[in-house]
Amino acid sequence: MSKRKLSRQQRWRIEKIQAERAERAARRDTQDQDKLEAGEYGPEQPGRVIAHFGRTLEVSSSTSDRTYRCHLRANLDSLVTGDRVVWREGGDGSGVVVARSERDNVLERPDARGQLKPVAANIDQILIVFAVEPAAYANLIDRYLVAAEATGIPPVLVLNKSDLLPAEGGELRELLRRYEALGYPVITTSTQRIDGLDALHRRLTGCTSVFVGQSGVGKSSLIDRLLPDEALRIGDLSSDSRKGTHTTTTARLYRLPAGGELIDSPGIREFGLTHLDARQVTEGFIEFRQFLGHCRFRDCRHRADPGCALTAAVERGEIHPERFASYRRILDSLDHELR
């Protein structure tokens, strides 16, 4: 009884808060409209969302190095870091975003209720970082690759801590050759060597990248080396009263001194361990694609099914047995998650 009453009360409060929010946004929009008509905003210009805090955005201008605190016209959907926008300057370092350009792609993460929410957009490559220590294993790499394939953003494999590799290369080199044979670019890095980041710098130039990977592989160390100026990492939002609750969780876009851009947040770094469905997993193994649709049965589960084109390809040596085993393991883990 009391439980129900409470929930109705909560619902009423939520509705009230939402109504107030909508009213505030509408008021702000009318003010914007007045200002726009009064010519208080400059001409439309392209920009990019560097960070966002609710409906306040930090937007970089494509004509200067400055960033501007902008708000969003109420008729626009929410934006994410990396979005390309059209905005107008309002003087005093502020502005208004009036339109969003089409997104090339978007990275999504489940929110607290398990619903997928966009966290960043317009990313050119996902750098999957793994290391000699903690030892990389194929199944985890495959999981990240599958998650990357599902977004349509090309993945790049980054083997960090190459200073710890045995002279003859060991099993890890063998493993990397397998991925290279599939067409994935592989680069090696070390934060312990002067020239350890050369290949990485080349990869990052001219692109927007994100780093993902297991804890301890060296993502923070790599980013520290790429953004040596601490001010670059922390940003300039100290005057924002909402800072404390948002800066650590929302994604932020950084300009790399050597060229290129990096979008980073704790949520993005953990990307890849999110939920995938069985079809995404199957299509995420890129070498399987040519065989899909050729199984005898349309609903083939690619297990012991007769006439399975995938198991036949494994037998002919056209699919690596370890990749196939890895595929099975990822599917089994999904069944487990659903239970």
Q: Rule CB under 6 A: is residue 221 a binding residue for ligand GTP?
A: yes
Binding residue for ligand GTP, selected from 33, 62, 192, 249, defined by CB under 6 A:
192
The number of residues that bind ligand GTP (CB under 6 A) is: 16
Q: Rule CB under 6 A: is residue 135 a binding residue for ligand GTP?
A: no
Residue 221 vs 280, nearer CB to ligand GTP: 221
Please check whether residue 175 is in contact with residue 138, taking contact to mean a CB–CB distance below 8 angstroms. Answer: yes
Binding residue for ligand GTP, selected from 96, 217, 227, 276, defined by CB under 6 A:
217
* Only segment of 1-9, 41-49, 217-225, 317-325 that touches ligand GTP (CB under 6 A): 217-225
Q: Rule CB under 6 A: is residue 199 a binding residue for ligand GTP?
A: no
Give min distance, CB of 313 to Zn ion, in A. Answer: 9
300 contact, one of Zn ion, ligand GTP, none, CB 5-8 Å limit per kind: Zn ion
The CA distance from 245 to 112, in Å, is 16
The CA distance from 176 to 140, in Å, is 13
Strands 261-264 vs 252-255: parallel, antiparallel or unpaired: antiparallel
Alpha helices in the chain, H assignment, sequence order:
2-37, 138-151, 170-181, 198-204, 219-226, 230-234, 243-246, 266-269, 278-284, 309-315, 321-338
Concatenated DSSP letters of 113-164: TS-EEEEEE--SEEEEEEETTTBP-HHHHHHHHHHHHHHTPPEEEEEE-GGG
Residue 192 vs 245, nearer CB to ligand GTP: 192
Concatenated DSSP letters of 198-239: HHHHHHHTTSEEEEE--TTSSHHHHHHHH--SHHHHH-S-TT
Footprint of Zn ion on 275-334 (CB under 5 A)? 295, 300, 302, 308, 310
Give min distance, CB of 277 to Zn ion, in A. Answer: 17
Give min distance, CB of 285 to Zn ion, in A. Answer: 12
Please check whether residue 90 is in contact with residue 138, taking contact to mean a CB–CB distance below 8 angstroms. Answer: no
Residue 295, annotated ligand binder? Answer: yes
Residue 238, annotated ligand binder? Answer: no
User: Which residues make up each annotated binding site?
Assistant: 160-163, 213-221, 295, 300, 302, 308
- The residues that touch Zn ion, with contacts defined as CB under 5 A, are 295, 300, 302, 308, 310
- The residues that touch ligand GTP, with contacts defined as CB under 6 A, are 160-161, 163-164, 190-192, 213, 215-221, 269
